[in-house]
Amino acid sequence: MYGVLVVLGWNEAMLVLFNPLYFAALLGLLGAAWVIFQLNLVGPLYAVGKTVTGEIQRQVSARLREHFSQPLDTAPPRQPRLAAPVAARYEDEVEMDRLDDKRDY
């Protein structure tokens, strides 16, 4: 319990203890760790983790090399052609009133 308290701090340790969902997750993780230690699966689990990590690192570095090995396009970007403005056609003439006009309607 003191290890959890040191790692998480007081507030987070109390959150894990009093929240049923987090508490169940903690019990599940502790149970899985106990089974792994009892069946001496720490070595194989470490080997699998190391292999998976190495494969992820290999794929990421290959994709980064592929991405950055492509030549940069140094030509200026082409401007898109804009459509010619269409003249507005109004069927009705609209008359605007002046705001300073003091006519009563």
56 Cβ contact list (under 8 Å, min separation 6)? none
Confidence of residue 61 (pLDDT cuts 50, 70, 90): very high
Contact 16, 22 (CB under 8 A): yes
CA gap 27, 38 in Å, rounded: 16
Residue 105 has pLDDT above 60, yes or no: no
pLDDT at position 70, please?
Answer: 76
Distance in angstroms (rounded) separating the CA atoms of residues 44 and 32: 15
3-state SS, residue 100 = coil
Residue 80, amino acid = P
